[in-house]
Amino acid sequence: MVAEKVFTQLRRGTLEYCVLALLQGEERYGFDLVKALGEIDGMVTTEGTIYPLLARLRREGLVETSWRESESGPPRRYYRSTKEGSQALADFTADWERFRTSVDTILRRGIEGSQG
Amino acid sequence: MSADQLVDAYLDYLTKAAEPLPAERRTDLIADVTSHIAEARAAGATTESDVRQMLQQLGDPDDIVAAATDGLVLVERPKPQPRLGGREILTLILLPFGAYIFFVGWVVGVVLLWMSDRWTRNEKLLGTLVTPLGYASVQAFATVDGDVLQLPQAVTMLIAIVLLVAPLCTFVVLVSRGRPGRSAQ
C-alpha cells in the first residue's frame, strides 16, 4: 500500500509515452486507444483522464489528429504520432531502460542483503 | 435510474466541473468524453449496470477535469459585486440625514464612505464636505440666521437653496459614479 502513491506518480509520468508507443505505425481513435491501454495491467485507473493527456500531446505537437466517419455512429477523432512524437518516445525509451536497470540493480542488492 | 439518466447525470456533472477550464479545453474534453460514452454504448454497454460500470471506469469527472487543468493556473473569478452594496446604501442615507441620529449618524456615514471601495478619493472628499452634517446644516443655518445673522431675505433664501440642493447633487454623483474597485483609481 505504501507503493500506491509511487505507482500513481510512475503511471502519470510514463502514460504519455505508452500512448505514443501505441500510436507508432498505426492510427487509433480515442476509445480504441483507451481500451488498448486498459487491457494492459495496471496502466490506467481512470480512463477519462487519457483524453486531457491526448489533448496535451496534440498541443505539444507530439500527435496529430484527423476526423474520420465511422460506420456505427458519430465521426471519430483519430490520433497519429508525429515525427516529434516518435523522437520523444525513442529518447524516453533509452532513458527508461537506463533508469530501469539502475533501479533493478539497487533492488537486487536489497534482496541479496536481506538474504545474507 | 435508467442508463440514459446515468449518462446525462454524468455529463451534467462533468460540464459543471469543467466550467473553470478555458473554453477550448472544456469543449474538447466534453466532446471527447461524450463520444467515448457513445462508443462504449455502441460497443455493447447497454444495460443499466453495464453503463454504471463503464462510467465508473471512465472515472470521477473531478479527476478528469483535474487532469485537464494540469499546467494551468486557474484564476478564480470573484463573484460579481453589485454596484452599491448594503453598506453603501446606508452611507448614502447617513450622509444627508445621519446627523439627526444623535449627530454620530453622520460621523458613521463618513467613516463608511471612506471605508468603501466604490468611490475615488475625490468623490469621498465631495461626500464629506458637501455638506458637512447633511441636512442638519440647513436647519443650523436657519437657526443661526434667525437668531444672530439677520441677513437680507434674498441672501437667506439663496443660501438655503444651495444648502438644500448641494447634498442632493452629492447624492446623485455618488450614486451614479459608485462602482466596485473605484477606490483604487
Question: Per-residue pLDDT tens for B111-154?
Answer: 999 999 899 999 999 999 887 888 888 788 878 877 777 788 88
Q: What was the pLDDT predicted at B31?
A: 94
Q: Is B29 helix (H, G, I), strand (E, B) or coil?
A: helix
Domain interval for residue A40? 3-115
Q: Is A79 helix (H, G, I), strand (E, B) or coil?
A: strand
Interface of A with B in 58-87 (CB under 8 A): 72-74, 76-77
Domain count, chain B: 2
Phi, psi (rounded to 5 degrees) for A41 = -55, 125
**Per the domain annotation, does B78 fall within a domain?**
no
Which stretches in chain B have pLDDT values below 70? 71-79
Chain B residues with CB within 8 Å of chain A CB: 25, 28-29, 32-33, 35-36, 38-40, 42-43, 57-61, 63-64, 67-68, 70-71
Cell 468524453: give the residue: B33
Q: What was the pLDDT predicted at A6?
A: 86
Using an 8 Å CB-CB cutoff, list chain A residues near B29. Answer: 51-52, 55
Q: Is A81 helix (H, G, I), strand (E, B) or coil?
A: strand
Domain interval for residue B8? 3-69
Higher-confidence residue of A75 and A23: namely: A23
- A49-107 per-position pLDDT tens digit: 999 999 999 999 999 999 998 887 778 999 999 999 999 999 999 999 999 999 999 99
Give the nearest partner residue to A47 out of B35, B38, B58, using CB atoms. B58
Same-domain status, B116 and B171: yes
Q: Is B49 helix (H, G, I), strand (E, B) or coil?
A: helix
**Counting one residue from A and one from B, how many pairs have CB atoms under 8 Å apart?**
67
Q: What was the pLDDT predicted at B75?
A: 54
Q: From residue B174, how far is each of B82, B83, B134, B140 by CA, in Å?
A: 14, 11, 14, 24
C-alpha–C-alpha distance, residues B89 and B175, integer Å? 9
**Per the domain annotation, does B79 fall within a domain?**
no
C-alpha–C-alpha distance, residues A31 and A35, integer Å? 6
